[in-house]
Amino acid sequence: MKKSFLIVRSNIRKSVGQTTAIVVLVLLSALMLNLWLMLATDYTANFDRYHNKLNAEHVTLVADENKDEFKKFLSKTVENDSRTSEYRLDNCMCAESTFCYNDDEIFTDNSIFLEKQAAVTRTVGKIEILEEGNETSGVYLPLVFKNTDGVEVGEQIDIIIGNHKMTYTICGFFNSIMMGSSNCGMIEVVLTEDKYTQLEDMGYAPQSTLCSVRLKDKQDDISYETWLSSAVLEDYPNIGVFNNNYSTVAQARYISQMVCSGIISAMAFFVLLIALVVIVSNIINYIQVNMKNLGALKAVGYTSGQLICSLLLQFLTLTFIAALVGIVLSYCLFPAINTMMIQQTAIPYTMRFLPIPLLATLVVLAVAVTFAVWFASRKIKKIEPIDALRSGIQTHNFKRNHIPFEKTNAPLNLAFALKNTMSGVKYNITVFITMLVLSLVIVFSGLMIENVIADITPFLNLIVGENSDSSVNILTEKEDSFLHAMEDDSRVEKIYLYTTLDVSHNDGANLMASLCDDYSVLDNQNLIVDGRYPKYDNEIAVGAKYAGEERLKVGDEIEIAANGKKFKYLICGFTQTSYNLGRDCMLTRKGYERLGELTILNYHINLTDKTDIDAFNQEVKDKFSDSVIAAINLKTTLENLANVYVSLMTVIVIAVLIISAVIIVFVLYLLVRTMLNNKLNDYGIMEALGFTSKQLILQTALSFMPTTILSVVVGLVISSFIINPLTALFLSGIGIIKCTFTIPILFIVIAGIGLVIFAFVIVCALSLKIKKIAPRALLSGE
C-alpha cells in the first residue's frame, strides 16, 4: 500500500491541472447528488414530521352545516368506522374568498375560517403559530402568504368573502399541514375571537363544520375520504361538502420540490457521466504517456494489480475529497433552495445533518469511479515490461494517414485540425458525450424559457388546464339572464361553462370532474392525451394518470357516483390536468345531470384585450348581486400562482446554464491540457518550422470543432424529440402524461451555435499556453 501511495503522490504532482478539473466535476456531481437526496428524502419527510407534530388529520371534510343533529350524525358515522383512529369536529365558516394585498390577488374556492383559540388547541389538525406581533384583533394567515408576496405582521389585508370585502390587520402567520396553501384544496384562515364573532354576525360566510379524521392506516385516506363524503351527502344531499386527503395534499404541497429534485438528479447523473468519461479518458492517456514508466515499474517487480490499485487509490482519494467538499457546499446552498421551495410548500424546514444522503452520495460516486478506473486501466495487465520499455509511447496507429495534405483541398490550418481530430479518438469521445449532454440541457433551458419564463401560458395550460380572463360563479336559476347580459356586452369575446365538482368512481377514489357544454370551445385543446373529449351524455374522459393506476382503457365502461346516484359512462379519452394530481375526469353538462342538478355554475369569460378585468367583474357582481357567488380575475390569480414556478424555473435555468458552462470549461481544460502535454514536441517542431502561435491555437481549437458541431447537432435534434416526454416524466407525479411544450427552434439553433462558439473561444483561451512554448525549449541545449 505504501508503494501505491508513492505512485499516487507522484501522479497527482505531475498533473495538478488535470486533477483539478476532475475534482471540480466530481465535486459538482457530489453537490447535486447530495442536494437531490436531501430534497427527495428528508425534505419530503418534513411533511410527515409536521403532520405528526401537529397531529394533523388524514382526511378533512368541511360541510356548510353545523346543526347539532348533523354533528351527531357525523360523529357517529366517523366513530363507527373501524379505520378511524381519532377525530375532531369544530365550528367554522366556509366561503369562497379573494385575498387582496400588495396589488396582488389570490382566490380560493374554500376558505375555512376558524377562531384562533380553537385552531391552536384542536387535538387533531391544530395550527402552529410561527410568527405573531402585538396585534390582538385581526387575522392569522398561513405562511404561504408571507413567503409568496411578503406581507408582514401589522399590515392590512382585504379579504373578499363571497361578495363582501373585509379588512383585517395581520396578527401573525401559522403553519397548517392540511389547509396551509391553496394547493390543499382548502385554505385555513384564523381570526381573533372578536373578528370571528363579527364575521359570524355578518353572515357573509355560512356556518360550517370542520371534521378532521386521523386514520389507523394513512393509506386508507383516499377511500375513506370518498366514503365519508358519500355518506354525508347520502343523508344530507343539499349541503355543500369539501374535502381533502393526506396523499393528495402531501403531493400537492411538494410539486416544486418534485420538479426541482427531478432536475437536480438528472443534472447530477449527467455531470457524473461526464466525470466518468473524463476519468476514463485521463487514465487511457496516462497509460499511453507513461508506458515506459509502467514497463519499468513492472520490470522492478510491481504487479498489474498494484499499478491498477494505485490508480484506484488516486482517483478514489480525489473522489472522496471532492465529494466531501461538494457535500459541504450542498449544505451551504441548501438554505437558498429551501427559501425557493418554501414559497410553494409553505412548510418550514430546518436544515440538519443527514448521514444517509451523505453515505449514499459517497457510495454512488465510489462505485462509479471504481468501475471507471477498472474499465480504463485493464490495459495495464497487457503491458509486457520489455515491450513497454522498448516501444514506449504508442500514440499513433499506422493504419491510416488521415487527411493527407497531398489530396485534401482544405486550408492548411483546417487540414491540420482535421488530422488531429481524426487521430484523437479519446478526445472525441469525451467531447461528444459532454456536448451531447449539454445540448440536452440547452434544449431543456430553451423549453423552460419559452414555455415558462418568457410566457407562462403554455405551462399554465399544462398544469392548470383551461384558463381564461374571468371566472364567474353564478346560481343556476340566474343562468339565462346572465348569459343574455354577457351576449350583449361587447367586451365579452367568448363565454362558456366550465365547472368543476367532485364525483367518485366505484365508491373508491374521488375524482374532480370538469363539466362543459361543448369541449370544442375550450381555449386549451391539449387536455386530451388519448382519444377525444366527451361529446355525448354517456361519455367520460378520465385522468390519464388515474386510468393508468386503475388499468382503464378507452372504450371501458366505468360507474361514476355523485349526489347518491350512479351512472355508467363510456371512456372516450384520457385527460391530463394537475388540478387533482391526475385524479380527474371530464363530463358533458348533460352527462353530469344524470347524477344530479347543478345548483352553481362556473362560467369562463374571455374579454377583449384592453378590458379591465377587475372592473368587469365588479360590474357583474353589482348587476347580479346575490346571484353571483364569486367573480374572479382568473388571469391575475393564475399569474400570481405561476410566479412561484417562474421564479423557481428562472433560478433552475440560470443554475443549469452556469453549471453547463463550468463543465464545458473544465472538460475542455482537461482535454486541451492533455493534448498540449502530449503534443508539446509537435508544437515545438511546428513553431520551429514557422507556424505562428496564432496558427497553432487556431488548429487546436478547430480540431475540437468537428466533434463539437456533430455532437451539438445530434444532441439538439435528439433532445428536441425527447425533451417533451422527458418533461412529462418529471411532471408525471402531478398527473402530466404528455407534454406539448413548443420547442423553441430558433432559440435552440442560436444556443447551439452559441455553444459551439463558446467551446471554440474556451479552447482558444485554454490554448494560449501555446504562446509559452518556445521552439528552442524542445531542442537539445548546450
Complex with other proteins: residue 296 or 685, whichever CB lies closer? 685
Rounded distance between C-alpha atoms, residue 18 and residue 232, angstroms? 70
Complex with other proteins: residue 40 or 685, whichever CB lies closer? 685
| 378 touching other proteins, by CB under 8 A | no
| 416 touching other proteins, by CB under 8 A | yes
In this chain, which of 692, 725, 745, 753 binds other proteins, going by CB under 8 A? 692
Label each residue of 303-322 as H, E or C: CHHHHHHHHHHHHHHHHHHH
| 764 touching other proteins, by CB under 8 A | no
Rounded distance between C-alpha atoms, residue 495 and residue 250, angstroms? 35
| 539 touching other proteins, by CB under 8 A | no
Task: Measure the N-to-C terminal CA separation of the chain; round to a whole number of Å.
Answer: 42
**Residue 671: CB minimum distance to other proteins, A:** 17
The residue with cell 366505468 is 558
| 779 touching other proteins, by CB under 8 A | yes
Nearest partner of 434 among 767, 728, 763, judged by Cα? 763
The site map against other proteins for 630-669 (x = CB under 8 A) is ----------------------------------------
**Residue 411: CB minimum distance to other proteins, A:** 9
Which pairing describes strands 164-175 and 156-161: parallel, antiparallel, or unpaired?
antiparallel
Complex with other proteins: residue 623 or 694, whichever CB lies closer? 694
| 425 touching other proteins, by CB under 8 A | no
**Residue 682: CB minimum distance to other proteins, A:** 5
> Residue 742 gets which letter from DSSP?
P
Which of 141-149, 173-181, 415-423, 568-576 is the region at the interface with other proteins (rule: CB under 8 A)? 415-423
**Residue 417: CB minimum distance to other proteins, A:** 13
Number of residues that bind other proteins (CB under 8 A): 33
Cβ atoms within 10 A of the Cβ of 114, count?
A: 24
- Name the grid cell of 625: 348581486
| 406 touching other proteins, by CB under 8 A | yes
Rounded distance between C-alpha atoms, residue 218 and residue 57, angstroms? 9
**Residue 674: CB minimum distance to other proteins, A:** 15
Q: Phi, psi (5° rounding) for residue 171?
A: -90, -25
The answer to whether residues 640 and 467 touch, using CB atoms and an 8 Å cutoff, is: no
Complex with other proteins: residue 410 or 714, whichever CB lies closer? 410
Which of 187-195, 380-388, 416-424, 636-644 is the region at the interface with other proteins (rule: CB under 8 A)? 416-424
| 694 touching other proteins, by CB under 8 A | yes
The answer to whether residues 743 and 447 touch, using CB atoms and an 8 Å cutoff, is: yes
Complex with other proteins: residue 415 or 547, whichever CB lies closer? 415
Q: Which helix (H) or strand (E) holds 555?
A: none
**Residue 693: CB minimum distance to other proteins, A:** 6
Rounded distance between C-alpha atoms, residue 733 and residue 723, angstroms? 17
| 427 touching other proteins, by CB under 8 A | no
| 697 touching other proteins, by CB under 8 A | no
**Residue 668: CB minimum distance to other proteins, A:** 21
Complex with other proteins: residue 406 or 487, whichever CB lies closer? 406
| 776 touching other proteins, by CB under 8 A | yes
Complex with other proteins: residue 303 or 401, whichever CB lies closer? 401
Which pairing describes strands 156-161 and 584-588: parallel, antiparallel, or unpaired?
unpaired
Complex with other proteins: residue 353 or 398, whichever CB lies closer? 398
Label each residue of 674-711 as H, E or C: HHHHHCHHHHHHHHHHCCCHHHHHHHHHHHHHHHHHHH
**Residue 292: CB minimum distance to other proteins, A:** 15
Rounded distance between C-alpha atoms, residue 297 and residue 314, angstroms? 17
| 423 touching other proteins, by CB under 8 A | yes
Which of 20-28, 263-271, 479-487, 773-781 is the region at the interface with other proteins (rule: CB under 8 A)? 773-781
**Residue 775: CB minimum distance to other proteins, A:** 5
Please tell me the chain's helix, strand, coil percentages from 3-state DSSP, rounded to the nearest 5: 60, 20, 25
| 284 touching other proteins, by CB under 8 A | no
Rounded distance between C-alpha atoms, residue 571 and residue 576, angstroms? 14
**Residue 695: CB minimum distance to other proteins, A:** 8
| 781 touching other proteins, by CB under 8 A | yes
Complex with other proteins: residue 295 or 752, whichever CB lies closer? 295
| 768 touching other proteins, by CB under 8 A | no
Which of 14-22, 347-355, 553-561, 691-699 is the region at the interface with other proteins (rule: CB under 8 A)? 691-699
Complex with other proteins: residue 318 or 686, whichever CB lies closer? 686
The answer to whether residues 32 and 26 touch, using CB atoms and an 8 Å cutoff, is: no
Complex with other proteins: residue 625 or 692, whichever CB lies closer? 692
The answer to whether residues 161 and 139 touch, using CB atoms and an 8 Å cutoff, is: no
- Name the grid cell of 178: 392540511
Cβ atoms within 10 A of the Cβ of 689, count?
A: 8
**Residue 578: CB minimum distance to other proteins, A:** 57
**Residue 683: CB minimum distance to other proteins, A:** 10
AA letter at 530: D
The answer to whether residues 700 and 418 touch, using CB atoms and an 8 Å cutoff, is: no
**Residue 257: CB minimum distance to other proteins, A:** 52
The answer to whether residues 749 and 705 touch, using CB atoms and an 8 Å cutoff, is: no
How many C-alpha atoms does 375 have within 13 Å on its Cβ side?
13
Rounded distance between C-alpha atoms, residue 55 and residue 78, angstroms? 17
**Residue 404: CB minimum distance to other proteins, A:** 6
Provide long-range contacts, Cβ within 8 A and 24+ apart, for 217-220: 217/83, 218/58, 218/246, 218/247, 220/58, 220/83
Q: Which residues have a Cβ under 8 Å from the Cβ of 658 and sit 6 or more positions away?
A: none
In this chain, which of 300, 332, 689, 746 binds other proteins, going by CB under 8 A? 689
Nearest partner of 60 among 126, 106, 115, 116, judged by Cα? 126
Which of 101-109, 135-143, 511-519, 682-690 is the region at the interface with other proteins (rule: CB under 8 A)? 682-690
AA letter at 447: L
Nearest partner of 522 among 485, 544, 494, 482, judged by Cα? 494
Complex with other proteins: residue 454 or 688, whichever CB lies closer? 688
**Residue 291: CB minimum distance to other proteins, A:** 14
Specify burial of residue 761 (Cβ count, 10 A radius: 0-12, 13-18, 19+): exposed
| 532 touching other proteins, by CB under 8 A | no
**Residue 296: CB minimum distance to other proteins, A:** 21
Which of 330-338, 412-420, 568-576, 743-751 is the region at the interface with other proteins (rule: CB under 8 A)? 412-420
**Residue 685: CB minimum distance to other proteins, A:** 5
Coil, helix or strand at residue 238? coil
The site map against other proteins for 382-401 (x = CB under 8 A) is -------------xx-x--x
Rounded distance between C-alpha atoms, residue 189 and residue 191, angstroms? 7
| 288 touching other proteins, by CB under 8 A | no
Specify burial of residue 183 (Cβ count, 10 A radius: 0-12, 13-18, 19+): buried
Complex with other proteins: residue 596 or 706, whichever CB lies closer? 706
**Residue 396: CB minimum distance to other proteins, A:** 5
What is the chain's length?
A: 782
Complex with other proteins: residue 317 or 395, whichever CB lies closer? 395
| 685 touching other proteins, by CB under 8 A | yes
Query: From its phi and psi, is residue 507 left (phi > 0), alpha (psi between -120 and 50) or beta?
Result: left
Q: Where along the sequence are the contacts to other proteins (CB under 8 A)? A: 395-396, 398, 401, 404-406, 412, 416, 419, 423, 681-682, 684-694, 771, 774-776, 778-782
